[in-house]
Amino acid sequence: MRQRLEAFAADVFAPLPRSDQRAKGVTYLRGLLLDGRRKSMQPMAERLGVDHQGLQQFVTTSTWDTTAVRARLARRAVDLVQPVAWVVDDTGFPKDGAGSPGVARQYSGTLGKVGNCQIGVSVHAVTDTASCPLDWRLFLPESWDEAKAGPAAVRAAKARQRKTLTNAPRAAVSAPAGAGAGAGVDADAVVEAARLRRRRCAIPDNEGHRPKWTLVVEMLDALAAQGLQPPLLAADAGYGDTSQFRAALDERGIVYSVQVKGDALAHTADAQPVARVWSGTGRPPASTAPVYLDDTASLAEHITAAGRDAAVTVSWREGSKGTLSSQFVFLRVRPAGHRIPRDPDGSLPQRWLIAEWPDDEPEPVTYWLTSQPAGTIPADLIRYGKIRWRIEHDYRELKTGLGLDHFEGRSWTGWHRHVTLVTAAHLFITMLRLDPKADAPA
């Protein structure tokens, strides 16, 4: 495959300004693709028979930009995979120390708990049989943001103090003096520590803490600038529960199918808003938008009201052990929330509410909201709701086979270059896997 790899690399690394950089790019890809448990630079260099300092310089200090390379990778991935949807999610990179950019004690789905880790957010092009990453962002917690580190530390200290007071016997514990002012946190010292960490990792001044859903929207906008638009976007409840995220997708005309929690609120599909009426006394209403007079109910309550008898059996794809099927309830609802854009007539838009309610479960196990058209058949609604399983496949392959989480550098630029090069390696093996002339699966 050496010649095919070199031809592939010549295309994706064409934006690199120097020939030695393009050569190093091919070498790094070879290192990622070769057998070997560890894909950090020194073990790769030993297997390749090259000086690891050359690889280190290419990834950490050399002058090349990942943006143009990722743009070429994204275009090739979309052309190759022909995705039926894009999936967004995030994955954790466990770390022992505190020097890697963005590392903090935070929840990681990879760990299944709060741990010391980095979090990478990614967008993937997917079908039921293939998928590839399109773009990445490194999430920066508030503790890595000079403007937010101090206030965040004060809030955390107050929360710990409240927890201590709640759990301790009331007769033996009283609130210490100054607890309300941040429990003794030196906010200036916290800010200075954040400044030093950022300087050591060479984090750009314009990069700070932003919610993960905001990072996704930024990636979608960057990909749209390249002429790439998702046929549908799928995400788990970590993103779907945020009404601003769904509103951002609506504003961009992106159809979505996202998991949500059952306690989100919605009106029935036939609920209609009425015009606000001002009596002429007191303060006029701040908004002239029509209002809904009926009470909202949680998504779980809407499904419970429909009842288990409303569930139908739907099959969505072939798994390793046969056809995958389950029981689902489908309802049309109007999700509630002041951040949700209204239709021209002032009404909240209708959406599909889907709940998976297997026969052997006393209550629904999963909920989705989707903006797919009202006439979409149940099989398609479920297929797109379930399609995010492909991103877990990608994360597993990227980590176990290609060393996505093996990068040991401590620079912002190095992390982004490493994940870009791993993405290139993943696209290459996906290209081999989908090649009808291939002798065997890659």
> What confidence tens digit (pLDDT) does each residue in 299-315 have?
999 999 999 999 999 99
Which tokens in the block code for residue 286? Answer: 């701040």
Determine contact, residues 234/254, Cβ cutoff 8 Å: no
**Domain span at residue 317?**
237-271+294-387
179 falls in which pLDDT band (50, 70, 90)?
Answer: very low
H-helix or E-strand spanning residue 288: none
Q: Are residues 383 and 311 in the same domain?
A: yes
Q: Is the CB of residue 142 less than 8 Å from the CB of residue 210? A: no
159/80 same-domain check? no
Residue 29 sits in the same domain as residue 133 = yes
Same domain, 246 and 382: yes
> Would 31 be classed as within a structural domain?
yes
Residues 264 and 320 in one domain: yes
Is residue 262 in a domain?
yes
Integer Cα distance of 144 and 150 in angstroms: 10
Rounded (10°) CA dihedral 315, 318, 320, 321: 40
Do residues 127 and 83 touch, judged by C-beta distance below 8 A? yes
- Residue where the block lists tokens 């808003």: 273
pLDDT in tens, 72-129: 999 999 999 999 999 999 999 999 888 999 999 999 887 889 999 999 999 999 999 9
User: Is 218 among the domain residues?
Assistant: no
Do 177 and 312 reside in the same domain of the chain?
A: no
Same-domain pairing of 303 and 425: no
* The pLDDT of residue 173: 38
Task: Tell me if 17 is assigned to some domain.
Answer: yes
Mean pLDDT on 277-300: 80
| Distance (Å, whole) CA 189 – CA 35 | 46
Residues 319 and 422 in one domain: no
What percent of the chain is predicted at pLDDT more than 90?
A: 74
Chosen domain end from 201, 220, 247: 201
403 vs 158, residue with greater confidence:
403
The Cα–Cα gap between 316 and 51 comes to 50
Which residues have CB under 8 Å from 240's CB, separation 6+?
A: 246, 256, 258, 259, 260, 368, 369
Residue 441 lies in a domain: no
Whether residue 211 is predicted with pLDDT greater than 80 in this model: the reply is yes
Is 357 part of any domain? yes
Q: How many domains does the chain have?
A: 3
C-alpha–C-alpha distance, residues 440 and 442, integer Å: 6
Q: What is the tens place of the pLDDT at every residue in 216-275?
A: 999 999 999 999 999 999 999 999 999 999 999 999 999 999 999 999 999 999 998 888
Which of the two residues, 435 and 329, has the higher pLDDT score? 329
Q: Are residues 8 and 89 in the same domain?
A: yes
Q: Residue 142 contacts by C-beta under 8 Å, 6 or more apart in sequence?
A: 148, 149, 151, 152, 209
Co-location of 241 and 380 in the same domain: yes
**pLDDT tens, residue by residue, 401-441:** 999 999 998 999 999 999 999 999 999 999 999 987 655 44
Looking at the structure, do residues 258 and 400 belong to the same domain, yes or no?
no
**pTM for this structure?**
0.90
Mean confidence (pLDDT) of the chain: 90
- Residue 184 — pLDDT band, cuts 50, 70, 90? confident
Asked if pLDDT for residue 158 goes beyond 80, the answer is yes
Task: Please check whether residue 261 lies inside any domain of the structure.
Answer: yes
Last residue of a domain, one of 201, 224, 248: 201
3-state secondary structure of 351: strand
Residue 170 has a pLDDT of 44
- CA distances to 73, 270, 385 from 309, rounded to whole Å, are 48, 21, 22
- Is residue 277 one of the residues assigned to a domain? no
Say whether both 89 and 193 belong to one domain. no
